Structure 1
Amino acid sequence: MTVKSIRRLAVSGTLAFGVLTGGGLAAKAQDEALVSFSVMKPEIAVKLAQAAMESCRGKGAQVAVAVVDRFGNLQMMLRDRFAGAHTPETARRKAWTAVSFRNDTLALSEVAKPGAEAYGANFITEALMLGGGVPVEAAGSIVGGVGVSGAPGGDMDDACARAGIEAVAADLAF
């Protein structure tokens, strides 16, 4: 059998399959079997981290900022010169928690207090229920997360994270 014959057979077999299955059904089945997702470009993660750090600097706080992709993998880490040694890991875990739980960690810290319904979430490895982790969304989907650590309180960490997201909002709009 020649290459030309094999191609002809493959084309006719594909056409016959399309006719027998109703054409669009095969394409629909393929679409249902695959998943598409978006993540931030590294340049956007850098811009977000820098804007979050600048926001905290403007408030007199030295922080670390972590940006993770939608799966919780670290994309960017930025630590200000006087931020504590613990802040990079804390920021990363806040960002990871935000994407993993699909919610900001300031809100999660309230529902995960001792005696609250979600208290057990505190015992999940890597989870850190302290304010400062915020999911990053674009077109209704989570595309990453940002975590800030080092400000005097989770409220300020959260505000700086949101300032970082605001700085890249136009870049993420599509």
Structure 2
Amino acid sequence: MRTLALALAFAAGSASAQDSALVDFQVLTPELALKAAVAAMENCRDGGYQVGVTVVDRFGLPQAFVRDRFAGLHVYETSRRKAWTAVSFRAATGELAASTEAGQISSGIRHLSEALPLGGGLMINEGGGAMVAGIGVSGAPSPELDEVCAEAGIAAIADEIAF
């Protein structure tokens, strides 16, 4: 009986992380989320664009939102949905734009109420590659320019999350 107990204890101690009842994960602090959002907005402003920027946590819940003074009314919804889409599908929304067009195998994604496969949403990954957040930008003259500003937001915090 004692041998069986020792074997069970050893097996339990050597179980992989996937067998654990608990999950460990990392998310940005609110301060870093805000820093990324402001940096993205300022990058767009420097380019002459008035935008809104949302940073969501890895679960798609908003952590920070900033809107430049003349940005359109739509920028909260679109920036939030872009960030949500990036973390939900673990892909840049610009990539999803092409893969979800009519006739594509993933076109059904466009029928989801929150998904917005339109460039400007990116995942934020820590140095080891784990996703910790998403950022969405809306209001620049094109989705590609929204994405450039989102990249600037990520670059502003890259040193702090490159652990």
TM-score (norm 1): 0.86
2:122 corresponds to: 134
Quick one: distance in 1 between partners of 2:5 and 2:68? Answer: 59
Write the distance in 2 (CA, Å) between the matches of 1:47 and 1:17. 55
Residue correspondences, number: 159
Aligned match of 2:13: 27
CA distance in 2, matches of 1:164, 1:17: 55
Question: Which amino acid in structure 1 is aligned with residue 6 of structure 2?
Answer: V
Structure 2, unaligned runs of 5 or more:
none
- 2:146 is equivalent to residue 157 of structure 1: yes
1:18–1:26 contact (8 Å) kept in structure 2: no
Q: Counterpart of 1:53 in 2: which secondary structure?
A: helix
One-letter code aligned to 1:98 = A
1:21 CA displacement: 2.0
* Separation of aligned partners in 1, 2:52 and 2:29: 20
Q: What 5-or-longer segments of structure 1 have no aligned partner?
A: 1-14
Q: 1:47 to 1:17 in 2, by over 3 A?
A: farther
How far apart, CA to CA, are the structure 2 residues paired with 1:30 and 1:116? 38
Tell me the distance in 2 between the aligned counterparts of 1:94 and 1:119: 16
Compute the displacement of 1:97 (Å). 0.1
- Normalised to the residue count of structure 2, the TM-score between the two structures is 0.91
Q: Which has the larger radius of gyration?
A: 1
CA distance, structure 1, for counterparts of residue 62 and residue 84 of structure 2: 8
User: Larger helix proportion, structure 1 or 2?
Assistant: 1
- Measure, in 1, the Cα distance between the counterparts of 2:106 and 2:7: 51
Are 2:98 and 1:110 aligned?
yes
Map 1:64-103 to 2 at 5 A: 64-103=52-91
**Aligned partners of 2:68, 2:144: CA distance in 1, in Å?**
19
- The one-letter code matched in structure 2 to 1:27 is G
Q: Per-residue deviation at 1:27?
A: 2.7
